[in-house]
Structure 1
Amino acid sequence: MPRRPSARRFSRFHAAAFVALLGFFYLATSWDCHHHEGEDEQRAAKVPLEVHIMSKCPDARDCLQKLVLPAMQNVSDKVDFRLSFIGKTTEEDDGVQCMHGQTECLGNILELCAASVYPDPKMYLGFTMCLSRDYSRIPQKALVEDCALEHGLDFDKLNDCMSQEDGAYGMGMLRASVTRSAELNVTTSCTVRLNEKVRCIADGGKFRDCEGGSKPEDLIRDIKKLYDEAKGWSE
């Protein structure tokens, strides 16, 4: 993915387009397509891990498959995980521009809805990975249904999230996510940030700027070290 894509390369996506596309992709039937102190301490010790992607980006697929998912399978209990998206906001119509077109904006919102409805990363991250494996088909209904079934997500709940407030809810999540990435100066899909710092970037089919290594075991090692340090400070 280019590091600083120009605005003209993004396809604009706003609430009106969202409602129209939502009806086409999901609502048309013919489309194939209690609280303990110990828990507080553990939560405080969790290490922030944030991954910035575009839903229809091959580098995002490779980054999730080769680095993020294998690491999370080992240290998900030690991580405060967040999935964020890259794009551009447009002030004139409160919309969002996505590099790979309006269907990518829909894919981004769909993955944000999965995280909103199913906040356990083991569920929504697996769903996101499933979509990413066949990213060119995002957001076809058949793909979404298959990935939802595979990872225990209710398609109807995802659809309800997508259509909530006539699409404004999902669009609000996407604008907030895109704004966050921009404020953090993240422009490359996929960028992995650990403990609020860039840990690794997947760009053009290769990993770069991965101080400490780009393998899952390298990321796991760093997460465990930061977790043990934070847990020691909180005790």
Structure 2
Amino acid sequence: MKFAATVLLASIATAFATDPVEVLVCVEALCPACEGFVTDYLLPTANTPGMNDIMKVTYVPYGNAKIDLDAKTVTCQHGDTECFANSYEQCVIDIYPDQADFLPFVACIAAVPTQFKMSQDKTFQECAEDNNLDFDVIKTCHDDADRAWDLQVKNSELTPADHQYTPWIVIDDDLYDNSSHDFQGAVCAAFAAKGGSSDACAAALSKVTM
């Protein structure tokens, strides 16, 4: 028993001694492939015990939008509805920067059928309340034209200029192939490559190395 406890403590110490894997996730609110990645891979990975300790997610809801800094306008790939939804997600991430707070919210939005995201505050309110987030504060941000604009600019700058599609996912500077359908394994492999070890990765790494 003492040996097992020592091994567990050593594993935890190794996880915290190694810098977390940097994960950049560039998406847009009405992109079906983005929705699938968030609900099927990103949130389940984050919900795996221990995984939040070894990865730091920078979530950027901007995607293929085009910004005109002089005119102060943003044109989203899927229209104004997408800009409306992106803005809500940007506000949530700005107000609740902890990924344990914002990831369940964006996953909730991703799971909502497109027709219910069409400029309806109610959808975003329900996802906020379901995840114990203050919707009044979020809506105040969303409805503040200056703040919303600043967040659009920030997210445009966080989106790599050379990105070619969404979701555009970068794990420790390496572009992730979303068709591999093994996001957790890729994060764990990146963590192991920098000398990290975590019990959360045992099953994922065994699958990668098979």
TM-score when scaled to structure 1? 0.68
For 2:17 and 2:188, how far apart are their aligned partners in 1? Answer: 19
Q: CA RMSD in A?
A: 2.4
How many residue pairs were aligned? 178
Q: Answer whether contact 1:193 1:200 (CA < 8 A) is retained.
A: no
1:22-52 CA deviation, whole Å, 9 max, x = no partner? xxxxxxxxxxxxxxxxxxx959712110111
Q: Closer, same or farther in 2 for the Cα pair 1:198/1:220, shift >3 Å?
A: closer
Give the unaligned 5+ runs of structure 2: 1-14, 198-210
Cα 1:51–1:135 shift into 2, 3 Å:
farther
**Contact 1:50/1:82 (CA < 8 Å) preserved in 2?**
yes
Distance across 2 between alignment mates of 1:197 and 1:159 = 35
Shift of residue 220, structure 1, vs aligned partner: 4.1
Native 8 Å contact 1:51 1:192 kept in 2: yes
Corresponding residue for 2:192?
Answer: 225
Matching of residue 94 in structure 1 with residue 68 in structure 2: no
1:157 to 137, 141, 164: 137
C-alpha distance 193-64 of structure 1, shift in aligned 2 (>3 A): same
**Following the alignment from structure 1 to structure 2, what is the Cα–Cα distance between the partners of residues 127 and 145?**
10
Contact 2:105 2:131 in 1 (8 A): yes
Alpha-carbon separation, structure 1, partners of 2:134 and 2:149: 21
Rounded Cα–Cα distance in structure 2 between residues aligned with 1:92 and 1:43: 45
Query: 2:182 corresponds to which letter in structure 1?
Result: K
Distance of aligned partners of 1:92 and 1:135 in 2 relative to their CA distance in 1, 3 Å threshold: farther
Give the drift of 1:128.
0.6
Whether contact under 8 Å (2:55, 2:187) holds in the other structure is no
Is 2:42 the partner of 1:68? yes
> For residues 133 and 103 of structure 1, what CA distance do their matches in structure 2 show?
16
1:114 corresponds to 2:92: yes
3-state SS in 2 of match to 1:49: strand
The question of whether the paired residues in 2 share the 8 Å contact of 1:79 and 1:223 is answered with no
Aligned to 2:174: 197
Cα contact 2:16–2:53 (8 A) shared by 1: no
Cα distance change on mapping 1:193 and 1:76 into 2, 3 Å: same
- Code of the aligned partner of 1:61: E
Cα distance change of structure 1 residues 217 and 172 upon mapping to structure 2, 3 Å threshold: closer
SS of the equivalent of 1:169 reads: helix
Q: Cα distance 1:180–1:118, how it changes in 2: closer, same or farther (>3 A)? A: closer
The answer to whether the 8 Å contact 1:71/1:220 transfers is no
Identity %: 18
Gaps of 5+ in 1: 1-40, 202-206, 208-212, 231-235
Specify which of 161, 181, 206 is matched with residue 214 of structure 1: 181
Given that residues 30 and 78 in structure 2 are in contact (C-alpha distance below 8 angstroms), is that contact kept between their aligned partners in structure 1? yes
Q: Offset at 1:77?
A: 1.3
Query: Per-residue CA shift, 1:65-100, capped at 9, x if unaligned?
Result: 222112222311111211112111124412211011
Q: Which residue of 1 aligns with 2:102?
A: 124
| Aligned-partner Cα distance in 2 for 1:197–1:77 | 20
| Mapped pair 1:83 → 2:50 | no
Between stretches 142-151 and 220-229, larger displacement belongs to 220-229
1:83 alignment partner, SS class: strand
TM-score (norm 2): 0.76
